[in-house]
């Protein structure tokens, strides 16, 4: 009884092909034949650096977006993003698997800013309203603010990030105080609807 091979190299497989060719069918050469087109794996250090730069410029890119932009196969893009760069998708964003010193510094700065805001709220004796995670129907910024802002920005073109930020700031400055208070005043009604729906989402 023949013993089953645990592993078979490519050369061994091609040797079998050559044997079969001697029997009257198959190819003779067991080395790779020249072929056109890009190689199956074009993952190099330069390519990996370009992919990392691309992802950091837009964390919402998909593997297909990376492959199309870099003109590489989907498999190569997947290998670079997940195995070489060790990125993971977190809430529709690519996030590094390991935090660099720069990432840690940014997180600390953001945390400090949050703490300063909390202290200011305490000084003003304001009541802090807590919203459950991912509740756009209960967050005034989502159900009241972002919609009109997107309508205002629709159809406009900007050449720099600075121009976009200035346009957004200008829109904020031109809104009347009543616009902001109206969003807050809608909250009690939405909370009641949320209770009536036993926590389900509120469409309008």
> Cα 5 to the chain's mean position, in Å?
43
pLDDT digits (tens, 9 = 90+) for 74-132: 888 888 888 888 776 654 555 656 667 787 787 788 778 878 888 888 898 888 777 77
User: Exposed/middle/buried for 201, CB within 10 Å: 0-12, 13-18, 19+?
Assistant: exposed
pLDDT of residue 77: 86
pLDDT of residue 40: 46
Mean pLDDT within 143-167: 91
The encoded tokens of residue 86 equal 């060790």
Which carries the bigger pLDDT value, residue 50 or residue 33? 50
């Amino acid at each position: 009884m023949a013993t089953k091979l645990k592993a078979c190299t490519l050369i061994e497989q091609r040797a079998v092909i050559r044997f079969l060719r001697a029997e009257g069918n198959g190819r003779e050469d067991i080395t790779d034949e020249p072929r056109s087109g890009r190689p199956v794996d074009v993952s190099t250090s330069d390519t990996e650096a370009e992919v990392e730069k691309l992802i950091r410029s837009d964390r919402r890119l998909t593997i297909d977006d990376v492959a199309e932009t870099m003109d590489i196969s989907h498999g190569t893009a997947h290998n670079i993003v997940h195995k070489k760069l060790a990125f993971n998708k977190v809430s529709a964003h690519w996030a590094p698997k390991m935090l660099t010193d720069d990432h840690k510094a940014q997180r600390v700065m953001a945390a400090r800013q949050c703490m300063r805001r909390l202290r200011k709220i305490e000084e003003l004796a304001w009541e802090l309203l807590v919203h459950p995670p991912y509740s756009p129907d209960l967050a005034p910024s989502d159900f009241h603010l972002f919609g009109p802002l997107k309508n205002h920005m629709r159809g406009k073109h900007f050449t720099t990030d600075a121009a976009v930020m200035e346009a957004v700031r200008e829109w904020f400055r031109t809104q009347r105080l009543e616009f902001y208070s109206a969003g807050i005043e809608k909250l009690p009604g939405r909370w009641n609807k949320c209770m009536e729906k036993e926590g389900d989402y509120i469409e309008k």
